[in-house]
Structure 1
Amino acid sequence: MPKSSFNIPPSTTNPSGEERTVGYEFEFTGVEMPEAGGIIQSLYGGKLREISTYEYAVEESRFGTFKLELDAQLFREKKYEKVLKSVGVDLASFKNIDSIEDALKDLASSVVPFEIITPPMPLSDMDELNLLVDRLREMKAKGTGSSFIYAFGMHINPEAPELSAGSILNHLRAYVLLDPWIRKDAAINMSRKITPYINSFEEDYIDHILQPDYQPGMDQLIRDYIGFGNSRNRALDLLPLFMHIDDILTSSLIEETLTRSRPTYHYRLPNCSLEDPEWSIASEWNRWVFVETMAADKKMLDRYSRARLRLKRESMVRFEHKWLQLMTRWAHEIH
């Protein structure tokens, strides 16, 4: 199968019976936002608009609005103005504030990536994004592997096929079972491994959710997820989905300020290796499809959940290695 081919998940429709959508977030540097916006405009149409020095948008494309941002809240929301004022520097007194903001942007972009946030794309149109990756690569965009300090990632936001507690729990269980294999197969970059942005779930939480008698309602599922210390910095972040389902409860339990409500899983793990001609977004998406495949097979999911609990209980040493081998065999059989 060509590396650019996107696998079809078990469920292709959302709770309303419409075709599911998927949003992507690309982190990179080396191509300025106006240039990247021009690429998007040339591929998908629309109008390029400058919102600020640190934020652009391509509006009214044939897929909706693409956003382009410097991936730092400090700059997008101009919080640096308050910081500078605290040390006696008032930017309002400068005549050429645009040149100052440009200098700040240039300084930040050496370590803080630009980000393209796509609109929700129908499953059947995801291959259109290969064109964007190819053009960014032609423009010498720098991705995860371009520098040891680039902890750049690509986030995938698949619309949830169901919004029930049972379905979400099945996806969560499938993910924690497959996480070791996904990390190895995706060759997650060392610069990303040492950051806190894609932490694995803790063992006590994994043990809790894999118990056969754990069948929570939505309220309990949300409370347990947050109560076990799961923040937005998990490789699979469920906070946006929980905000969509019950924003009052979720907001009351977290202190996060960057969590956006949306009816999607927020899969944060993949590299964004635009510099590598062998890398493709389809390969990253296809690893997520393994998660959905296991989640959709209740008997298989139950069997491997029990197997992990048993293997951990019976293994004095090398539990992680043994579990990785088992999940690798399963993935090869499914493939």
Structure 2
Amino acid sequence: MNQEFLKPQRATNESGEERRVGVEFEFTGVEMEDIASLLSMLYGGKIEQLSTFEFKIVKTRFGDFGLELDAQLIRDKKYEKFLRSIGIDLSEYEGQYVVEDSLKDLASSVVPYEIITPPIPLSKMGELTSLVDGLRTLKAKGTGSSFVYAFGLHLNPEIPDESTATLLNYLRAYVLLDPWIRKDISVDVSRRLTPFINRFEDDYMEHILNPDYQPNQTEFIKDYFEFGNSRNRPLDMQPLFMYLNEELTSKLVEDTLTSSRPAFHYRLPNCSLEDEAWTLAGEWNRWVLVETLAEDDESLLQYCNAYLKMRRETVIRFEAKWIELMDRWVKNV
């Protein structure tokens, strides 16, 4: 079981400060009050209940943790508008919390609870292992606990710098390694049946992997959306683009509520808390491979060219052959 968190080559940001990583865990099977108590016990802070569906644990030693039922319709209480339209005002109903608890219980059978950590310094990521262990002790149910549990894990690593060349290289490295990553993590069947798993399209991959593609920031952002990319990608660039250029990005997307953050939004398909062999460190270390390739200009150029050549010349078993090639690279890192 791999519990060691590897450090990427670039451990600091442009300001020379240690880079940080936000983590989002999706799961079910545990009462929200028990999850909040676990977070407070592990990291300090004060528990604040914002609603039946949302808690915050504030002023921990890392910052504020969020805890919510990951269903916007329920979390934002959009059902109240419908009920008022038929003459029912829950705010005047003594049993309001009974209704909300029933909605929570119903939704949590298929909709996950989500823990949103504050940005954690790279050197402190090991402290999240105790959270995974604590959730297992509470019998949390992860992706593999049920056929219908399409639960994921999101990593939000802070970018090392804002240059377009750096960000493009990280995106290139990710799309090159994506087939190998998917095979290595054994994507759960529930995730293969959901829209989450949409990959980057071949035409966009070939566009950005071309060594002659050297866009400025505006071109880089525009191309991402003009090739049909959205939030539904395993490496979701939209929050980062919103941070870099909110005015431009807002014009190109329908989802204007996208959070703005100086981080990649890496959406992993499995949060397998039920599996004792699954570790957060193992998931993070695959991301470190992406960073390793991104920072190796010579190897990155070599594999960009190899991908484009193999794509042109291979009629069958392209993905299997590409995974074999990337597997050799991984074993030599």
Query: Structure 2: which 5+ residue stretches go unaligned?
Result: none
Measure, in 1, the Cα distance between the counterparts of 2:174 and 2:240: 15
Checking the alignment, whether the CA contact within 8 Å between 2:5 and 2:284 is kept in structure 1 is yes
* Corresponding position of 2:83: 84
Let me know the Cα RMSD of the aligned residues.
Answer: 1.1
- Asked if the contact 1:270–1:284 (Cα under 8 Å) also holds between the matched residues in 2, the reply is no
Equivalent residue, structure 2, for 1:316: 315
Q: Distance in 2 between matches of 1:237 and 1:186?
A: 19
Q: 2:19 aligned with 1:20, yes or no?
A: yes
Give, in whole Å, the separation in 2 of the partners of 1:68 and 1:307: 44
- Is 2:310 the counterpart of 1:332? no
Q: 5+ unaligned residues in a row in structure 1: which ranges? A: none
Deviation string, structure 1 residues 149-178 (Cα, Å, up to 9, x no partner): 000000000000011110110000000000
The CA deviation at 1:258 is 4.4
* Percent identity over paired residues: 59
In the aligned structure 2, how far is the partner of 1:35 from the partner of 1:199? 34
2:291, 2:11 → 1: CA distance? 11
- The aligned amino acid for 2:93 is F
1:295 is aligned to 294
Deviations 1:4-52 (A, max 9, x none): 1001101000121100000000000011111101001111110011011
Contact 2:250–2:256, Cα closer than 8 Å, also in 1: no
Q: 2:211 is matched with which residue?
A: 212
5 Å matches for 1:164-203? 164-203=163-202
After the TM superposition, list the runs of 4 or more consecutive aligned residues in structure 1 that deviate by more than 6 angstroms: none
TM-score (norm 2): 0.98
CA contact (8 A) 2:177 2:326 kept: yes
Q: Which residue of 1 aligns with 2:53?
A: 54
1:233 paired to 2:216:
no
| 2:24 alignment partner, SS class | strand
The DSSP-based 3-state class of the residue aligned with 1:7 is coil
Q: CA deviation at 1:89?
A: 3.7
CA distance in 1, matches of 2:149, 2:295: 35
Tell me the secondary structure at the aligned position of residue 64 of structure 2.
strand
How far apart, in 1, do the equivalents of 2:215 and 2:52 lie?
46
Aligned length: 333
Measured in 1, the distance between the counterparts of 2:187 and 2:288 equals 18
1:198/1:268 contact within 8 Å kept: no
Matches of 1:159 and 1:85, distance apart in 2: 43
Name the structure 2 match of 1:307. 306
Take 1:259 and 1:332, find their aligned partners in 2: how far apart are those partners?
37
Conservation of the 8 A alpha-carbon contact between 2:141 and 2:274: yes
How far apart, CA to CA, are the structure 2 residues paired with 1:86 and 1:320? 53
Shift of 1:87: 4.6
Deviation at residue 85 of structure 1 after TM alignment: 3.3
How far apart in 2 are the matches of 1:89 and 1:320?
55
TM-score when normalising by structure 1: 0.97
Q: Tell me which amino acid in the other structure corresponds to 1:107.
A: L
CA drift of 1:95 comes to 2.1
Asked if the contact 2:172–2:294 (Cα under 8 Å) also holds between the matched residues in 1, the reply is yes
Q: Per-residue deviation at 1:144?
A: 0.5
1:128 aligns with 2:127: yes
